[in-house]
Amino acid sequence: MELITSYVITLILVMDPFGNIPLFITALKRVPSERRTKVLLRELIIALFIMVVFLFAGAKLLAWLGIAKHSLGVSGGIVLFIMSIKLVFNSLEDEQAHINQRDEEPFVVPLAIPLIAGPASLSMLLILSAGAPSKVAYLFIAVLAASFLNGLVLLLSFPISNILGRRGLIAVERLTGLLMVLISVNMIMGGISDFIHTLS
């Protein structure tokens, strides 16, 4: 149970649901209010499918490409670190400016990919599954639980935004970014440690 809880917390942090609230509001504000829930549920299901595919096929893909576990740890940590820095220092307006508003109803991009199933969450799934192949069943449960919690926050994005306000969302986003920095550094150091062990 502790392992699953640890996986869930890690995945929630890299999914960053509170940080994504302003982006989801921007992407969905031109969608009729009666369709927003349906659109969001559809995107959540698509993102969950992509993450499950990465979870079960990721290790085989890495083996086929000849990518070592330590390489994945270092590269995944670097990607997560860059995204963490953006969370800490970027303004919400900068991120919202990248959301395409030409289409009234988003499909797959940008909600499912990359806002939910993005580089950070997919890299994390690859690292966790490659690091503990025997724990994939636990990780699968964690993916379902994290996706449910992430979806719950995003489904309530409009009322949560009204309650927290812009400054509250920025504070939560930056706190998440700081925690992700710690996780990314740990991933990089773990990858370096694994590499050193292969040389000895």
**DSSP 8-state class, residue 30:** T
16: left (phi over 0), alpha (psi -120 to 50) or beta: left
pLDDT at 176: 79
The answer to whether the CB of 97 falls within 8 A of the CB of 23 is no
pLDDT at 51: 94
Tell me: pLDDT of 134 over 80: yes
The percentage of the chain sitting over the pLDDT mark of 70, rounded to a whole number, equals 92
Q: Which residue has the tokens 């773990």?
A: 190
Please give the model's pTM, rounded to 2 decimal places.
Answer: 0.77
Structure tokens given for 48: 């969950």
Query: Per residue, what are the HEC states of 40-92?
Result: HHHHHHHHHHHHHHHHHHHHHHHHHHCCCHHHHHHHHHHHHHHHHHHHHHCCH
When pLDDT is averaged across residues 23-49 and rounded to a whole number, the result is 88
Tell me: pLDDT of 93 over 60: no
Question: How many other C-beta atoms are found inside a 10 Å radius of the C-beta of residue 32?
Answer: 10
- Collapse the DSSP code of 109 into the 3-class scheme (helix H, G, I; strand E, B; otherwise coil) and give the result: strand
Which of 39-48, 105-114, 126-135 is the most confident on average?
39-48
Name the packing angle between helices 2-15 and 157-199 (round to 10°). Answer: 110
The answer to whether the CB of 73 falls within 8 A of the CB of 127 is yes
Q: What is the mean pLDDT of the chain?
A: 82
CA distance 47 to 190: 28
Residues in the chain, total: 200
